[in-house]
Structure 1
Amino acid sequence: MKRFHRDRIRHLGRQLALYAEAELASSREACAILERSLLRLAARPRNCRED
């Protein structure tokens, strides 16, 4: 697996963990902020090159 993908997956995993924590804490504002962050990350172009 390419390093780029591993790093991206790890980063998304951390973001998802933060989102889940905010969800459990019932903090709607925090959830909204993290949701926007996740959507921005998901919308980024996946222009990676072979290493």
Structure 2
Amino acid sequence: MVDDQFRQLQSLQEDGGSASGFVAEVATLFIDDAHRIINDIGSLLDAGRT
């Protein structure tokens, strides 16, 4: 699923224009969300140890 979405973003970026800024914004949001989710999972795992 993520691979398909990534390919769609790549296609937009290759088309150029204003889509490039959109692609960068989507990538940034994805990375920020992934970082937050990983931290949340780590916190839950740590809480389960106590």
TM-score in terms of structure 2 length: 0.44
Structure whose CA Rg is larger: 2
TM-score in terms of structure 1 length: 0.44
